[in-house]
Amino acid sequence: MNWMKCLFVREYQLANRVGGGALIGVLFFLAVVTIFPFGVGPDMILLARIGAAILWIGALLATLLGLDRLFQADREDGSLELLVMSGRPLELVVLVKCAAHWTATGLPLVLATPILSLFVGLDFESIVRVTLTLLVGAPALTLLGAVGAGVTVSMRRGGVLLSILVIPLAIPILIFGVSAAMAGAIDSNNFLVPFMFLCALTLFGLVVGPLAAAAALRVSGD
C-alpha cells in the first residue's frame, strides 16, 4: 500500500508545482463562467435558471483541459514504460493517478463553485445543490477522461481529440448532474433520483475507467 501513497503524493506534488497546471483549471472555469453573463445579458432570472448548467459545462471543460497531460507527460519522459513494467497492477496505478489528479484539479473546481455560483445569481439552496452534484459527479468526468487520455496518449495533438472523444460520452453525467442541480428541494424525489444516478455513474466510472485506461496504456508501447 505504501507505493500507492508515494504515487499519490508524487502526482499531487507534480500537479501543484510550477507548470503542473492545477490552478489553470480553476482559472479556466472562472473564465467560462464569467463570460456567460456577458453573452446572455443582465437578465438575472434567466441566468439563475441556466446557472447550474453553465457551472456544469464550465466544470466539464475545465476538467478536460488538464486531462491530456495525465499520461502524456509520463510517456514523454519514459516514466510510463516503468509504470507499466514495475509489477504493480496498472489499473490501480491509473486509479491512484486519477485520484491525485482529481484532488489537485477537480477538488479546487468544486471548492470554487459556491463563489462562481454568485456570478450567475443562484440562491443559497441552488448553490448547495450544484456544489453537491459537482462533488459527486466531477470524479466521473475525470475517470471518463482518463480513458480518453489513455487512448490518445501517443498522439501529439491528443488534447483536442480527447475532448472530441470524451464530450459525447459525458452527456449522461451532464444530464443527471444538471437535472439534480436544478431540482426543487434537496429532499425531494426530483433531486434524489438523478442524484443517485449520478452516484451510480461515478461508481461505474471507478470500475470501468481504470480498466479501460490501463488496457489502452498497455498497447501504447508499440
- Interhelix angle 90-101/2-16, rounded to 10 degrees, is 40
Residue 82 vs 171, nearer CB to another protein: 82
Q: How far is the CB of 103 from another protein (least distance, A)?
A: 17
Q: Does 189 bind another protein (CB under 8 A)?
A: no
Residue 68 vs 74, nearer CB to another protein: 74
* Residues in region 75-114 near another protein by CB under 8 A: 76-79, 81-88
Farthest CA pair distance, the chain: 57
Q: How far is the CB of 82 from another protein (least distance, A)?
A: 5
Q: Does 2 bind another protein (CB under 8 A)?
A: yes
* Residues in region 3-62 near another protein by CB under 8 A: 3, 6-7, 10, 13-14, 17-20
- Residue 19, SS3 per DSSP: coil
CA 215 distance to own-chain centroid: 20
Q: How far is the CB of 77 from another protein (least distance, A)?
A: 6
Residue 16's contacts (CB-CB under 8 Å, 6 or more residues apart) are 22, 104
Contacts 24+ apart (CB under 8 A), 22-27: 22/66, 22/104, 22/105, 22/108, 23/108, 24/65, 24/66, 25/62, 25/63, 25/65, 25/66, 25/105, 25/106, 25/108, 25/109, 26/62, 26/108, 26/109, 26/112
Q: Does 222 bind another protein (CB under 8 A)?
A: yes
Q: Among 63-71, 176-184, 193-201, 214-222, which window interacts with another protein (CB under 8 A)?
A: 214-222
Query: What does the binding site for another protein look like in residue numbers (CB under 8 A)?
Result: 2-3, 6-7, 10, 13-14, 17-20, 76-79, 81-88, 219, 221-222
